[in-house]
Homo-oligomer: A and B are copies of this chain.
Amino acid sequence: MAGPVTEVAHRVNYSETDQMGVVYHARYLVWLDVARCEHLRTTGLSYRELEAVGYRLAVSEANLRYRQPARYDDPLRIRCWVRDAVARRVTFGYAVEHLEGRLLATATVALLCLDTGFRLSRLPADLLGRLDPTSDPVRL
């Protein structure tokens, strides 16, 4: 249970804000997606390559807890790690943090492996072997 944690940086842009003056809640899912793809890339098999060989990872569940608002121009760090990977399903954990350290949000996202016909499929063995789970580095 000591798999890697991937970090990506993001600066909040204007399109992500809403008239409350904070980041609109749906935008976080995009950041999580970006962090997840970078995590896959670091395992040696990018999501683009995974699609090229006939697999899809489809989100089956997403759970987000918003703790403090993110604001325009805030420099953020999104951390991503594998919580669990079994035959047909992988679950990721996430922490969204202000660069100064405040925890803004946490999340988990579960994805199912599909083939190009959208049928449930086993994760390719070489990918599954690289998805080392780790204990949550923050409380979700």
A: which residues have CB within 8 A of B?
13-15, 17-22, 24-27, 29-30, 33-34, 37, 46-48, 56, 58-66, 69, 72-73, 118
User: In the complex, which residues of chain B have a beta carbon less than 8 angstroms from the beta carbon of A46?
Assistant: 73
Known A18-B18, A18-B19; judge A66-B56 contact (CB<8 A). no
Copies of this subunit: 4
Q: Which residues of B contact A33 (CB under 8 A)?
A: 13-15, 26
In the bound complex, what is the Cα–Cα distance between A15 and B18 (angstroms)? 6
Contact between chains at A24 and B14 (CB < 8 Å): yes
Residue in B14, B25, B59, B66 whose beta carbon sits within 8 Å of that of A66 in the complex: B59
- The interface residues of chain B lying within 8 Å CB-to-CB of A59 are 25, 66
Task: Give 8 closest A-B pairs by Cβ, nearest first.
Answer: A26-B29, A17-B19, A25-B59, A48-B73, A15-B30, A19-B21, A63-B63, A62-B64
